[in-house]
Amino acid sequence: MPLDRLEQLSEHGSFGGVQRFYRHASRVIGLPMRFAVYLPPQAVAGRLVPLLTFLAGLTCTEETFTMKAGAQRLAAELGLALLMPDTSPRGANIPGEAEAWDFGVGAGFYLDATESPWATHWRMESYLTDELLPGVVEQFAVDGERLGLFGHSMGGHGALTLALRHPGFFRSLSAIAPICAPMNCPWGRKAFAGYLGADESCWSDHDASVLMGRQAGAPYPAGILVDQGLDDRFLTDQLHPEALQAACAAIGQPLTLRRHAGYDHGYYFIATFVDDHLRHHALRLS
C-alpha cells in the first residue's frame, strides 16, 4: 500500500545517486512521520537494488546517520539503497513527552506500546514492518526480497529484536553498540515499564538476548556482525554485548563481535566502521 500523502522535502545529489528526505501521514502512528532514503546510481537508472535500513538511537532523527555516518559513498559503489526512519513519533502532546526523550520513555524503542498514554501513537514496530518498509518497496526502485537491517544503540536493539521477531523478513543483520539485554539495563527497564507495563514477563519478547536464546537454530547462518567500542561509557551498565554473545553461542548462531579499544558510543565510532557493515550486508543481499 502506498505511503499516504508522501511529500518530498528535499533532494541532494550524492556520489552519483540522490539523497532524499520525506514526510508522510502515517496510518499506523496516527501522526506525520519523516524518513530519509539514499538511492544509489543503479536505482536512479531504474535497476532494483537491495534496501538496507538503519535504525538510529536515542536523541536521533532520520537526519543523524544520514548526515554524520558518511555511508553514501560506499552504498553507491555497492549498489545499496539506504533507508533511515525517524526514531519515534513526535508531536503527540502527551504530558512529559518532551522531558522524556533523552533516556527512556518518549523515544520509540522500536516496539508497539500497550500502556496508556503511549499505546495510541508509539507503535514503531508495526510502523516499520507493516507500513514504512512495504511502502518504500512499492514506491522506490528497491527489491523487497533483499532487505537488510542494522542500527546503533537503541536502534541496534531495534535491529536485533525486529529481525528475530519477524523471521524471514530481513536477509541480513548487524548492529553497532546495541542495547543487547534491555531487561537488565536502566534504559530498557524504564522504557519497557512505561510502554509495556509492570509485568516483566511481557518484556522478554523485546529483549534480543532472550529472543536469541529461544531460537531453535541459527536464524542468520551467514552470520551477524556487532561492533562495540571499549571506551563506550554505556558499555558496562547499558549495553551488555556479552549476553548476546552467550545466547548466540548457545544456539550456534555465528556472531562476529568486535571490541575496539579507544572508541566511544558516538558517530566517530559509527563512521569508522560503517563501511564494514555495508559490505557485510551487500555480500548477503547480493
User: pLDDT digits over 139-169, tens only?
Assistant: 999 999 999 999 999 999 999 999 999 999 9
Residue 105 pLDDT exceeds 70:
no
199 has catalytic annotation: no
Confidence of residue 3 (pLDDT cuts 50, 70, 90): very high
CA distance 250 to 208: 14
**Cell 537508472, located at residue:** 45
Predicted confidence (pLDDT) per residue in 66-80, tens digit? 999 999 999 999 999
Active-site option among 26, 153, 172, 174: 153
Question: Quick one: pLDDT at residue 107?
Answer: 84
CB 247 within 8 A of CB 276: no
Q: What sign results for the dihedral spanned by CA atoms 221, 165, 157, 213?
A: negative
Longest dimension (CA), the chain: 51
Confidence of residue 106 (pLDDT cuts 50, 70, 90): low
232 has catalytic annotation: yes
Q: Cell numbers at residue 254, please?
A: 555465528
Confidence of residue 127 (pLDDT cuts 50, 70, 90): very high
Q: Cell numbers at residue 187, please?
A: 534504559
Active-site option among 232, 240, 280, 281: 232
CA distance 68 to 270: 9
Confidence of residue 93 (pLDDT cuts 50, 70, 90): confident
DSSP, res 229: E
CB 92 within 8 A of CB 107: no
Residue 99 pLDDT exceeds 60:
no
- Average pLDDT over the chain, rounded to an integer: 95
Residue 37 pLDDT exceeds 60:
yes
Active-site option among 24, 157, 265, 277: 265
Confidence of residue 235 (pLDDT cuts 50, 70, 90): very high
Residue 38 pLDDT exceeds 90:
yes
153 has catalytic annotation: yes
CB 241 within 8 A of CB 228: yes
Q: Cell numbers at residue 156, please?
A: 541496534
DSSP, res 274: H
